[in-house]
Amino acid sequence: MTWFILFVTLGYLMGSFCSAVIVCRLFALPDPRQEGSKNPGATNVLRIAGKNYAALVMLADLLKGTIPVLLAKAFDADAVTVSFTALAAVIGHMYPIFFGFKGGKGVATAIGALLGFHFIIGVMVAATWLLVAKFSRYSSLASMVAITLAPFYTLLLIPNLGVFPPLFIMALLVLFKHKNNITRLIDGAEPKINLKTNVIEEVVEPPHSPSGKETEEPMVQEIPLLETKTPVKEIKLVEVNTKKISKTAEPIKKLKATKTTKTKTDKSVAAEKPAKKPTKKPVKKTASPKNKAPSDNPKK
């Protein structure tokens, strides 16, 4: 029992070393928990840093699953203890105690643990991943299928039912970690991979419409614009009315122009009339002595 607790604890602690975060810190790269898909795994490091750093992270994830399992086998631990050690390493990668219990999806660590547990089973799981990824071009689907088949491969090669439960729990945890990928696969929005090159490149394709034709994202965003309260006929009528208004605007402008000319002429005439008033003022001055004559007679 003490060996069981020792190796399970060792597997969990080794799995808790998040390879992606450590590699990115050593080489002054962006934090994979904050960039890209925000998943501290080799695929996200490939996205944000390149294939060389992603290969280093992949190798470290494989080894931290393989090393504790090989140590358990080196001390002649039974198959059940070895299988639980493999499970503990995967749980440590998914929920690392050193990094706030926020880790990756555990696929690479699970494959490394299976290679240490039984080399043929590990090769079968890796081959399953390659086949599914080649024909489906979905990395997440390949990971889920490969790890799910691992406990059933053990039933074929190892005549011990005690190793089935920990490997089955491992498969369930991997499926749980891929729950977002499952929803994207159902919606047709999961990014695909390109295996023609040496590097796995993500190729995001537009979602498929129900008719089978591919639609682009801008087309999807333009669909709500058609669901307006005003029908299309009313919009056309508004356009016609604007044309009519533009046609009737020309005579209105002409009328305004004639009115302005008339007002200008009236103002000019009004301005000329005050100029004639000074000619009448001398007439008023000549008339003023006649009015003053009756006032002089009483004095005489």
> In terms of domains, do 159 and 258 share one?
no
Q: What pLDDT, on a 0 to 100 scale, did the predictor assign at position 83?
A: 96
**Structural domain contains residue 215:** yes
| Structure confidence at residue 269 as a pLDDT band (50, 70, 90) | very low
Q: Which of 31-35, 91-95, 170-174 is the least confident region?
A: 31-35
> In terms of domains, do 178 and 243 share one?
no
**Structural domain contains residue 105:** yes
> Average of pLDDT values for 249-257?
55
> In terms of domains, do 98 and 194 share one?
yes
32 vs 275, residue with greater confidence? 32
Cα–Cα distance between 107 and 105 in angstroms, integer?
6
Most confident of 17-26, 100-109, 116-125, 291-300: 116-125
Domain enclosing residue 151, as ranges: 2-220
Q: What pLDDT, on a 0 to 100 scale, did the predictor assign at position 35?
A: 85
Cα–Cα distance between 265 and 16 in angstroms, integer?
96
Tokens 């390949």, residue?
142
Q: Decide which of 220, 250, 275 is a domain's last residue.
A: 220
> Average of pLDDT values for 208-234?
40
Decide: 179 and 188 in contact? Cβ < 8 Å. Answer: no
> In terms of domains, do 33 and 126 share one?
yes
Res 42 pLDDT > 90: no
**Structural domain contains residue 269:** yes
| pTM of the full structure | 0.65
Decide: 64 and 89 in contact? Cβ < 8 Å. Answer: yes
| Structure confidence at residue 254 as a pLDDT band (50, 70, 90) | low
Q: What pLDDT, on a 0 to 100 scale, did the predictor assign at position 256?
A: 54
Closest CA to 85 of 33, 257, 77: 77
177 vs 250, residue with greater confidence? 177
Q: Decide which of 220, 242, 263 is a domain's last residue.
A: 220
Strand 201-203 relative to strand 192-194: parallel, antiparallel, unpaired? antiparallel
Q: Which of 6-10, 128-132, 189-193 is the least confident region?
A: 189-193
> In terms of domains, do 54 and 104 share one?
yes
> In terms of domains, do 70 and 192 share one?
yes
Q: Which of 25-39, 145-159, 186-200 is the least confident region?
A: 186-200
**Structural domain contains residue 74:** yes
Q: Kindly report, residue by residue over 123-176, the tens digit of the pLDDT.
A: 999 999 999 999 999 989 999 999 999 999 999 999 899 999 999 999 999 999
Res 31 pLDDT > 80: yes
Q: Which of 38-42, 114-118, 120-124, 284-288 is the least confident region?
A: 284-288
**Structural domain contains residue 154:** yes
> In terms of domains, do 29 and 62 share one?
yes
> In terms of domains, do 131 and 105 share one?
yes
Q: How does the average pLDDT of the chain come out, rounded?
A: 76
Most confident of 16-30, 37-51, 183-197, 242-256: 16-30
> Average of pLDDT values for 97-115?
93
> Average of pLDDT values for 88-116?
94
Q: How many structural domains are present in the chain?
A: 2
- Calculate the alpha carbon distances from 205 to 137, 138, 202, 215 in Å: 12, 12, 9, 9
Q: Which residues contact 73 (CB under 8 A, 6 or more apart)?
A: 82, 116
- Calculate the alpha carbon distances from 28 to 24, 31, 32, 87, 180 in Å: 6, 9, 12, 31, 29
> In terms of domains, do 64 and 150 share one?
yes
> In terms of domains, do 200 and 286 share one?
no
| Structure confidence at residue 261 as a pLDDT band (50, 70, 90) | low
**Structural domain contains residue 299:** no
Q: Decide which of 220, 244, 260 is a domain's last residue.
A: 220
Decide: 195 and 203 in contact? Cβ < 8 Å. Answer: no
**Structural domain contains residue 30:** yes
Q: What pLDDT, on a 0 to 100 scale, did the predictor assign at position 262?
A: 53
Q: What pLDDT, on a 0 to 100 scale, did the predictor assign at position 95?
A: 95
Res 67 pLDDT > 90: yes
Q: What pLDDT, on a 0 to 100 scale, did the predictor assign at position 251?
A: 55
> In terms of domains, do 235 and 206 share one?
no
Res 116 pLDDT > 60: yes
**Structural domain contains residue 300:** no
Helices (H), 27-50: 42-48
Give the H/E segment covering residue 197.
Answer: none
> In terms of domains, do 154 and 193 share one?
yes
